[in-house]
Amino acid sequence: MTQEHQLPEEKVFKDPVHKYIYVQDELIWDLINTKEFQRLRRIRQLGTSYLTFHGAEHSRFSHSLGVYEITRKIISQFERNGYADWPREEKYVSLCAALLHDLGHGPFSHSIEQVFDLHHEGWTCRFLLEDTEVNRVLRRVSEDLPERVAAVIRKTYDKPIVISLVSSQMDADRMDYLLRDAYFTGVNYGTFDLERILRVLRPHQGKIVVKESGMHAVEDYLMSRYQMYWQVYFHPVTRSSEIILRQIFRRAKELYHEGYRFTYLPRPMQRLLMDELSLQDYFLLDEAMAQTAFIQWTEEADHLLSDLCLRFLHRRLYKYITMDQEDEALWHEIRCDFAAAGLRPEYHLEIDFPFDLPYDVYQPDKAEGEEKPPILLLGMNHQLSEISGKSDIIRSITGLHLGKYHLYYPDDLLRAHANKLRPSIRELFGV
């Protein structure tokens, strides 16, 4: 597969993060022009973050092109330097996996996946393997290419170096989304020297490692990841909008199963509520369709559903109070008091505990295939060392998580029912 057809003329995409994205291969160009890949233009990269950072409207289409471009640059550096540890025949499977790794994301995937039994990686593999335009383009190159790309996505591919290009603690996916999300949210942290990192990556005994002199660029990358998680991805306003969104889907599903007649329910949405989505339904389901449904549902007879949709569309989100520790007894007391005051605690109180490890030496509690190998430095004499053993900065954030409990609730409703709440609960929520 090393002799893939080149385009007669190189194609170029203008991109705000990488300036230009270059496509030389007919295979990549044809994949970009499939309807399944074009669908990613209709799915936002950051879900509901646009309600917090108004610039965050960028799509999974632009991110996917970016991951492809970073992977292309890494491979081109390996090839230019003639590193013997890079398996040259893996170039196309790597580029395809990079380009297509997010193909199965649906509308607001991170929220929707928690309500319905959906997993975007599974849908990515279905788009690769079933009767789709993407599948036809891949099979034109070789019958087993769809299966090989799917194996990289599932992390079962027999060349781990290909998996680590697309999915590791320092992979093309993360490098692109950190830079892209920082750019579009407009935050000042989150940047690092991508060109420098790409120059110091080395293929080594089936892994990708970092030349020791590049350690400081990696420190910068890990700090930026740490900052982005706490300042952008876990922003409490974004979490609040995700909670409302989950509750819209949860309420709609509950109503559907009770036999409620919706005034508006396009077929893919109906199939979603039934947990019976076909690949064609899933293909049609995008954020525009979900939002159109929310607009229609603001007039539904069910007050809970219409109220949740109004909150989401008009950005009247839940407020939150913070607790340092888990306190099940207190939470139970709050739920009882909410119910006694006429609120619906299963919809009007949500306890959230955002959690992420910026870097981990190893994660023994993760399921097999889930753990990410450590970042290794390659010394002058070809010895390998785990990076937190060399860097004080990385050691200080290794295994670190700053999670606090946030209790989200509708402040306006709580105030309206305040006279029915116990004084201790009123004091806790400040109403």
| Contact residues: Ni ion, CB under 5 A | 102, 173
CB of 102 to Ni ion, least distance (A): 4
- Phi, psi at residue 415, to the nearest 5°? -65, -40
CB of 70 to Ni ion, least distance (A): 11
Measured from the CB atom, is 173 or 242 closer to Ni ion?
173
CB of 67 to Ni ion, least distance (A): 6
Token pair 């599903």 in the structure block, residue: 253
Measured from the CB atom, is 173 or 219 closer to Ni ion?
173
Measured from the CB atom, is 17 or 317 closer to Ni ion?
17
Q: CA 157 to CA 125: how far, in whole Å?
A: 13
Q: CA 396 to CA 212: how far, in whole Å?
A: 19
CB of 166 to Ni ion, least distance (A): 9
Measured from the CB atom, is 180 or 311 closer to Ni ion?
180
CB of 190 to Ni ion, least distance (A): 15
CB of 71 to Ni ion, least distance (A): 12
Measured from the CB atom, is 190 or 345 closer to Ni ion?
190
Measured from the CB atom, is 46 or 269 closer to Ni ion?
46
Measured from the CB atom, is 102 or 242 closer to Ni ion?
102
User: Measured at CB, which residue is nearest to Ni ion?
Assistant: 173
Measured from the CB atom, is 34 or 167 closer to Ni ion?
167
Asked if residue 14 lies in contact with residue 66, where contact means CB atoms within 8 angstroms, the answer is no
Asked if residue 25 lies in contact with residue 7, where contact means CB atoms within 8 angstroms, the answer is yes
Measured from the CB atom, is 36 or 173 closer to Ni ion?
173
CB of 45 to Ni ion, least distance (A): 8
CB of 47 to Ni ion, least distance (A): 13
CB of 320 to Ni ion, least distance (A): 28
